[in-house]
Amino acid sequence: MILKSKFFSILDSRIEEPLTRLACYGSSPEVASGTFNVKDYITIREVGHQDAIYFVNKIRTNIINGDWLIEPKQTEELNKDQKNWYSRGKMTYRLLCDMNDIIYSNFDGISNTINHYFYVMFYQETPIGILMLTNDFLRITEPAKIQDFIMHIGIRRCGILLIEHAVNKSNELGKNGNIKLTPAPNARDVYREYGFSFKEGHMLLEPDQNEKWGFRNEKYYFMAGCNY
């Protein structure tokens, strides 16, 4: 049974353990005796197609072996919050499987004018999230697109660090940092807090026109004061 206690979060950084459900959802809220800045333990790397497949499967394996999912036979014993957790876990796992299949297919049927970029987030050496950014280099004014963006189910409020990398890649590609995505309905409010707004059927972020974003040392960054 899941003990609702604690997520791993850049805003709540008292976790020093390896990424397991016990570490993030232990029976005690005091998981670690000391405090530190979790961002110091997070790195983000751009990787190629084959490495992206490898890390997608590493995240998927961690979810299974780390006891993050509940066996289906247990669902009848769960309360509403736990059933929501189960649904979220299964959805995350399915999205990872779908992403694996898309990358493994080498983007069969997708225009060869579209380039793909992959960013993996690590906590220490454990992969905890992955983002796939696409860019059509023939459409100069079209924003880069976040095609897939998946975080480990034990993670909260760290995904913005991957979005920062996507924004800066867009800027590097000559798109002024502009990115777009098509979020799930239940994720729209989160992206609004990140500075996205609806435009022509998708959500668009234009960091140079958004007060939640700053620019320093030739890089865009999300304002920490927004607390998301």
210 to 154, 177, 202: CA distances (angstroms): 29, 11, 17
The verdict on residue 98 lying in a domain is yes
The verdict on residue 57 lying in a domain is yes
Please report the DSSP string for 175-191 in residue order: STT-EEE---GGGHHHH
pTM: 0.80
The whole-angstrom separation of Cα 225 and Cα 36 is: 18
Q: What angle do CA 74, 21, 66 make, to 5 degrees?
A: 80
Selection from 82, 93, 222 nearest residue 158 by Cα: 222
Q: How many domains does the chain have?
A: 1
The verdict on residue 3 lying in a domain is no
CATH, residue 150: 3.40.630.30
Q: What is the pLDDT of residue 34?
A: 41
To the nearest whole percent, how much of the chain has pLDDT over 90? 52
Tell me which residue range forms the domain holding 210.
8-226
Spans of the chain, pLDDT less than 70: 1-38, 70-76, 108-109, 224-228
Q: What is the pLDDT of residue 74?
A: 55
Q: What is the pLDDT of residue 224?
A: 64
Q: Which two tokens stand for residue 88?
A: 């979220």
The verdict on residue 1 lying in a domain is no
The verdict on residue 184 lying in a domain is yes
The verdict on residue 18 lying in a domain is yes
